Amino acid sequence: MKIAIATKNNGKLKEFEELAKGTPYEFIKIPEIIKDLPPETGNTFYENALIKAEFISKKLGIPAIGDDSGLEVDALNGSPGIFSARYSKTGLDNDNCLKLMENLDGLQEDKRSARFRCCLVGYFEGKIIQSNGTLEGSIAREFKGTNGFGYDPIFITENGKHLAELEKDEKNSISHRSEAFKTLLNKISELFNKSFVE
Ligand code: ITT
């Protein structure tokens, strides 16, 4: 069965390609001709992930998975949250990281706690399934590492390394996205076993 990954973010896509290896499904990226996903008008990660999944599933006529994710920083009352991709004026990864570090300027280590959240929504012929994952850590004062994407260079994991210092399989063994993806895979197989029995 083909399942489309409803994202335009190459960093996410690369992670999904790794995570999808060995699963019984063929995960495909969305064709280049689809230039943009719809505006993220939801108020939650779930609502935004659903917007992406439903749009792509209806466009391509196959099941799709939407990913809405971001960083919640405790000292900023959970910001940037669903606005993580649009945090700085340019929305570029580097500028988003700089703005976040600036906003935490002067805060000591114990006040810099944060977590990544990932909500995945599968849209399967009108049936909706969802799963969530989190990764706890804190926000650094400097960039470190060249792997990954987004806020990875300034996110310190619980073992003290910046996420961008981890190899892709190391990140996938702990990440919010991999946690959500594993749960979603189980829900997909439950959905299909159920339809088969009915
Ligand atoms: P799509 O909507 O096309 O999937 P997007 O980048 O707009 O791509 P989101 O709206 O979900 O996706 O925004 C997610 C933001 O959170 C974005 O700025 C990412 O850089 C950041 N983010 C999410 N997961 C991350 C991860 O594993 N590592 C670093 N940053 C991450």
List pLDDT tens digits, range 160-170.
999 999 999 99
Give catalytic residue positions.
Answer: 68
Strand order in the sheet with 2-6: 26-29, 2-6, 64-73, 113-124, 127-139, 155-157
Task: Read off the pTM.
Answer: 0.96
- Which of 121, 137, 153, 94 is closest to 5 using CA atoms? 121
Residue 23: both structure tokens together: 């699963």
Query: What is the tens place of the pLDDT at every residue in 111-150?
Result: 999 999 999 999 998 899 999 999 999 999 999 999 999 9
Please tell me the least confidently modeled range out of 74-88, 141-155, 183-197.
Answer: 183-197
Domain ranges across the chain: 2-196
Q: Within 6 Å (CB) of ligand 1, which residues are found? A: 7-9, 12, 37, 40, 52, 67-70, 84-85, 93, 96, 116, 148-152, 175, 177
Looking at ligand 1, which residue's alpha carbon is closest to its atom 11?
Answer: 68
Task: Report CA-CA distances (Å) from 53 to 39, 63, 67, 143.
Answer: 13, 8, 8, 33
Q: Is the pLDDT assigned to residue 102 strictly greater than 80?
A: yes
Position 198 scores a pLDDT of 43
Q: How far is the CA of 192 from the centre of ligand 1 (A)?
A: 29
CATH 3.40.50.720 describes domain 2-196: no
Query: What is the tens place of the pLDDT at every residue in 26-84?
Result: 999 999 999 999 999 999 999 999 999 999 999 999 999 999 999 999 999 999 999 99
Position 195 scores a pLDDT of 58
Please tell me the least confidently modeled range out of 11-15, 44-48, 139-143, 192-196.
Answer: 192-196
Q: How far is the CA of 150 from the centre of ligand 1 (A)?
A: 6
Q: Measured on CA atoms in the order 162, 43, 5, 31, is the torsion positive or negative?
A: negative
Q: How far is the CA of 82 from the centre of ligand 1 (A)?
A: 9
